[in-house]
Amino acid sequence: MNVLFLTLLEFETLNERTLYTDLLREFVKDGHYVYAVSPIERKKKKKTYLLEEDHAKILRLKIGNLQKTNFIEKGISTLTVDTLFKAGINKYFKDVRFDLVLYSTPPITLVETVKYVKKRDHAFTYLLLKDIFPQNAVDMGLLSTTGAKSVLYNYFRRKETELYQCSDKIGCMSEKNKEYVLIHNPEILESRVEVCPNSFDVIDKSVDPETRNAIREKYELPLDKKVFIYGGNLGKPQCIPFIIACLKKCSRIDDIMFLIIGTGTEYGTLEKYVREHPGNVKLMKYIPKEEYDTLVGACDVGMIFLDFRFTIPNFPSRLLSYMQAKIPVLAATDVNTDLRQVIADGGFGWWCESRSAGDFYKTVKKVLAEGTEGMAEKEWAYLCDHYSSAISYGIIKNSIQQHLL
């Protein structure tokens, strides 16, 4: 089977450790051939080129700038990426007939490419739904269903609907995701929507006590305190004002340390707070993934933050990084995500709503009082049973087989 994978993720080999490359390796293991289109933004000043490895070809396709650029340039690049992807496939993969087209959101704007390959090759199309746009932008106040901002919203909503319509199967991150899609898109048959969760090639990333101490010394983290780590994007979805309020509320708890690692549009706001209020918070920018994974294993609790205004049920992939490191999770989120239920069912963490810094403070105190004994084993078992890339591959494979019956 020839598989075409479309993504905005930049990668050069299937041997990288990401949600998507881990999944694609499962196709290769089962004897399939993978063709992937992975972009290069114009600011990197590289031309389009093709990479080849065993049972895979990766087209690094030059596109406009999407990340860390102004709103107008990002908008233009978003609107042109579909045309560029389609042209790239026609030029570099023109003699290949695809059996499966696999693609993820974001973006929703690759719909014409998906429709083109589906019609040309009679391919099975599978959407990995990783966010629900444009509603997430409405939740954050970036778009609106009324007024001037409704023009953009209506355009993207049409694109979203088109993408759902041309997808033979829609794989959602969780049960709540599935419910949301079906409720807000009643024209979609329930049989076309299933849960295909975020997943990794399950690897034990926990560390032994000696490594833990060495890592903490390297990064100047206390050996005698509980270290709460957050790693990931620092943007509007994480509600940085709420995080700052939580840090301020917990600033007098002597036996903990907050470690925050990441980049994003709101990094400067957080950096200003930490600079003006030195204490039990350490802020770091991006570090290499392997180094980051080891650092996570040297901490005690992994944190997840989501803005309370979200009406869509997000399911952050950073949860899996904490699970691989076998550290319990403290999640402060909206009430619509089923992350709370997963943590409760698995018995490896705590949850509070991301409205009140006082509630977060109480939850931190609860973590310290209850301790984490026995959680690592429960967490690892839950990860293996639910979030292995082999499981996600099996779900997609089964959908294709059912389609062929």
Angle between helices 289-297 and 209-218 (to 10 degrees): 120
| Burial bucket for residue 67 (CB in 10 Å: 0-12, 13-18, 19+) | exposed
Mean pLDDT of 350-366: 95
pTM of the predicted model, to two decimals? 0.91
Give the pLDDT score at 289. Answer: 84
The domain limits of the chain are 2-200+388-404, 209-385
The Cα–Cα gap between 62 and 80 comes to 11
CB 119 within 8 A of CB 97: no
The Cα–Cα gap between 173 and 32 comes to 24
Give the pLDDT score at 114. Answer: 96
Domains 2-200+388-404 and 209-385 share a fold: yes
- Specify the 3-state DSSP secondary structure of 204: coil
pLDDT digits (tens, 9 = 90+) for 189-243: 999 999 999 999 999 999 999 999 999 999 999 999 999 999 988 888 888 999 9
Whether the per-residue pLDDT at 282 is higher than 90: the answer is yes
Q: Which of 42, 52, 38 is nearest to 104 (CA)?
A: 38
User: What's the pLDDT band for 326 if we cut at 50, 70, 90?
Assistant: very high
DSSP letter assigned to residue 170: E
User: What's the pLDDT band for 296 if we cut at 50, 70, 90?
Assistant: very high
Largest Cα separation within the chain, whole Å, is 65
The yes or no reply on domain 209-385 and CATH 3.40.50.2000 is yes
Pick the CATH number of 2-200+388-404 from 3.80.10.10, 3.40.50.2000, 2.40.40.20, 3.40.640.10: 3.40.50.2000
